[in-house]
Amino acid sequence: MLEEIKALDKQYYMNTFGERLPVCFTSGQGMRLKADDGREFYDFLGGIAVNALGHGHPKFKSALKAQIDKVIHTSSLYYIENQAKLAKRIVDATCADKVFFANSGAEANEGAMKLAKIYFYKQGLDKYEIITLDKSFHGRTLATVAATGQEKYQKPYYPLLPGVKQIEPNSIDAVKAAVTDKTAAVMIELIQGESGVRPMDKEYVSELRRICDEHNILLIFDEVQTGMGRTGKLFAYEHYGIEPDIFTSAKALGGGVPIGAVCAKDKIASAFEPGDHGTTFGGNPLSTAAGLAVFDIFEEEQLVENAAKMGALFKEKLSELMEKYPEKIKEVRGEGLLIGIQLEDTIAKAASMLLFDDGILVSLCAGNTIRIAPPLIITKNDVLLFISELETVLKKL
Ligand SMILES: *Cc1c(COP(=O)(O)O)cnc(C)c1O
């Protein structure tokens, strides 16, 4: 069947993903995915930080089935019970006062950028510039590509949205040099995911907060990847002891059902007035039922706490492995269950392929870093299995 699907994909699907890994999954349970040809894989990537509940979670499935039996979509012209309730869940659990739902991470970040601009526009202030970081990733829409500090994603789409510029990460001098009286917002990932799991320093983030306050600039955290328990806190900003003005969430928020969220303090959110922003699908009854089920299951199974515990275990075991293979493992980065294992440049690609051959799903980012972002339901045995598989692979290289 795989060959048949590959042929269809080649003929009919736009070739944005090139040669994909040679597998087609047809079912999943917990940490495991099963392919059409019977092969079984351990999912340590969680659909790129999406499947926080793992696969086929019984309570999640029944919540979705129940919602499908009731109603799937109604439109934003009418009140939506799940949407209102999920917004409350997010507000109760975070520093935000108001929420707006979109369908993806990029769209949530677009919403955040629009909100920052309109916030100053409504005050009659000429502040529209948005500063982001080199090596960042904020999405694939035109505005978020302008915000994404990676030339390979930007170049074909010049001219980009004006007023968006990138600076060096973790450098307060760079922030000071870039800020002008036109700066509306600084948007960052607290841990840069796609570019190799690169965390921001604590001092950098608190100084950034101070500079934003001093210059009347909004601080936006793109928590599309770091959010929803991934780092061992519900949102990664909690590690830093400061609060953003706006943050976004997506990936794990719907447990696999597409949803994104723009979350903001009241003072800023109120800049959006009727007609200023909108969406057809965003926050519909089905995707917000998914979000509500994710919150319920997180609480019942204490998954954020589990992410912290299992993340610590990973860190301990990976540093042992690094001591054992110092020439092969260069650095281990990340927080909780968002982990980057930087390997020696020449072996990284081969290591990720060997892991795949052994039925272990990870992703290779920045050319030399194995990223893992497993479901938050992961157990101690799963962690130990990964460590032993990684060691087996390292021995071969
Ligand atoms: C994945 C990701 C996005 C884009 O999300 P999409 O749902 O693919 O649009 C934006 N920001 C960060 C930090 C991400 O990891």
Reported as a single tens digit per residue, the pLDDT across 214-238 is 999 999 999 999 999 999 999 999 9
Residue carrying structure tokens 């995911």: 193
pTM for this prediction: 0.98
pLDDT at residue 125 in the model:
98
pLDDT at position 309 is: 98
**What is the pLDDT, as a whole number, of residue 212?**
98
Catalytic residue among 222, 235, 272, 314: 222
141 CA closest ligand 1 atom index: 9
Max distance between CA atoms of the chain, in angstroms, equals 63
The pLDDT value recorded for residue 108 is: 98
Q: How far is the CA of 106 from the centre of ligand 1 (A)?
A: 6
Q: What share of the chain is helix, strand, coil (3-state, %, to 5)?
A: 45, 20, 35
Identify the pLDDT of residue 395: 97
Q: Which protein residues touch ligand 1 with a CB less than 6 Å away?
A: 104-106, 109, 137-139, 189, 193-194, 222, 224-225, 250-251
Confidence (pLDDT) at 359: 98
Give the per-residue pLDDT at 310. Answer: 98
- Show the low-confidence residues of the chain (pLDDT under 70): none
Amino acid symbol at 24 = C
Helix axes 285-301, 303-324, angle to 10 degrees: 70
Residue nearest to atom 10 of ligand 1 (CA): 138
Is 317 assigned a catalytic role? Answer: no
Ligand 1: distance of its center to the CA of 107 in Å?
Answer: 9
Whole-angstrom distance, CA of residue 384 vs CA of residue 203: 33
Task: Based on the residue annotation, tell me whether 10 is a catalytic residue of this protein.
Answer: no
